[in-house]
Amino acid sequence: MKLYRTSNGPYVEQHGRFCRVPEISWDALVTHEDLHAYLSAIVAKSDPADDFSSAPLLAPIANQEVWASGVTYYRSRSARMEESKDAGGGDFYDRVYSAERPELFFKATASRVADPGSFVRIRSDASWSVPEPELTLLLNHRGLIIGYTVGNDMSSRDIEGENPLYLPQAKVYDRSCALGPCVLVSSEALPSSTSIQLEIVRSGKIEFAGGTTLAEMKRKPATLAEYLFRDNSFPNGAFLMTGTGVVPPDSFTLEAGDRIRITIEPIGTLVNEVAPRG
Ligand code: DO4
Ligand code: MG
């Protein structure tokens, strides 16, 4: 079952049938005692809505913070060790990859999150920028996984590579994050065969394509969620990005106009364009 946030309010989709979710705030949905059961009851008793496709999609977020996990894939560890070797930071990435405690960092508030189909940004003071395609968990106020969405953790590799202490600047800025197109409402773990695909299209041609699967992820989503909620409360729930396993070659940097397509099969495809510079 998929939950969409649109400018006409939320819609739920099951087996190709879209139903309007009656007037209830997004925060109330995220903190519902049993979201899956609540939405199933709506689908069972409502007439299908015919106005879903005319409703522009919004990122599935209201008063949730977005956090992110780092170095959860070997590919991310290697790329970061390489980019920070002149700064002497490489060792930290190797250590965090094998440590018991994961790397978790604050990523965005809703105001910094781009809607599906809208612009993401590269920083004006960055020279090496990439998207990071990440399975993103939706956690309720108790820290339980209640759904999954597709996330893009836009990153400035030159800024992080210059000094790992610049991580917040490399990661947190306006439109540095995109979420959507919907939330797959499920508390079941996704199969390890679940693929995450990234495609970057420039001037109509594929400039980069790559992918990974959840089998490559070093950490379990539930463990990442447990660490995030340790001594930290999220009364409206939270999003937790689970890290990237897809890193374009070092010669690649994003340009204005690039179209970024991230597909995680059971959820859908999140598409965003890089905004003009300035
Ligand atoms: O360690 C810095 C950030 C890592 C990250 O964003 C990732 O691995 O996805
Ligand atoms: Mg990331």
Q: Write down the pLDDT at residue 91.
A: 87
In a shared domain, residues 51 and 69? no
Q: Write down the pLDDT at residue 74.
A: 85
Nearest residue (by CA) to ligand 1, atom 3, is 70
Q: How far apart are CA 211 and CA 262, in angstroms?
A: 9
In a shared domain, residues 82 and 198? yes
Q: Write down the pLDDT at residue 277.
A: 82
Cα–Cα nearest to 154, from 1, 13, 272: 272
Burial class, 219, CB count within 10 angstroms (exposed 0-12 / middle 13-18 / buried 19+): middle
Written as tens digits, the pLDDT of the chain (278 aa) is 999 999 999 999 999 999 999 978 999 999 999 999 999 999 999 999 988 989 899 999 999 999 999 999 988 888 888 888 888 866 889 999 999 999 999 999 999 999 999 999 999 999 999 999 999 999 999 999 999 999 999 999 999 999 999 999 999 999 999 999 999 999 899 999 999 999 999 999 999 999 999 999 999 999 999 999 999 999 999 999 999 999 999 999 999 999 999 999 999 999 999 999 86
In a shared domain, residues 22 and 109? no
Q: Write down the pLDDT at residue 59.
A: 98
Q: Which residue has the tokens 């001594």?
A: 231
Q: Write down the pLDDT at residue 199.
A: 98
- The number of distinct structural domains making up the chain is 2
Q: Which CATH number does the domain housing residue 82 bear?
A: 3.90.850.10
Nearest residue (by CA) to ligand 1, atom 7, is 70
Nearest residue (by CA) to ligand 1, atom 2, is 70
In a shared domain, residues 12 and 126? no
Please give the angle made by the CA atoms of 103, 5 and 194, to the nearest 5 degrees. 50
Nearest residue (by CA) to ligand 1, atom 6, is 70
Ligand nearest to the CA of 103: 1
Which of 26, 58, 90 is the endpoint of a domain? 58
In a shared domain, residues 170 and 43? no
In a shared domain, residues 46 and 156? no
Q: Write down the pLDDT at residue 50.
A: 87
Q: Write down the pLDDT at residue 180.
A: 98
Q: What atom of ligand 1 comes closest to residue 132's alpha carbon?
A: 9
Q: Write down the pLDDT at residue 212.
A: 98
Ligand nearest to the CA of 244: 1
Q: Write down the pLDDT at residue 80.
A: 87
In a shared domain, residues 52 and 166? no
In a shared domain, residues 212 and 241? yes
Q: What is the DSSP string of 15-83?
A: TTEEEEPPS--HHHHHT-TTHHHHHHHHHHHSPPPS-GGGS-EE-S-SS-EEEEEES-SHHHHHHHHHH
Q: What atom of ligand 1 comes closest to residue 103's alpha carbon?
A: 1
In a shared domain, residues 52 and 70? no
Structural domain of 163:
65-274
Q: What atom of ligand 1 comes closest to residue 105's alpha carbon?
A: 3
In a shared domain, residues 87 and 220? yes
Q: What atom of ligand 1 comes closest to residue 93's alpha carbon?
A: 1
Q: Write down the pLDDT at residue 207.
A: 98
In a shared domain, residues 155 and 118? yes
Query: And the tokens for 47?
Result: 């007439």
In a shared domain, residues 70 and 143? yes
Distance (Å) from CA 185 to ligand 2 centroid = 23
Residues with Cβ within 6 A of ligand 1?
Answer: 68, 70-71, 76, 80, 103, 132, 153, 167, 243-244
Ligand nearest to the CA of 243: 1
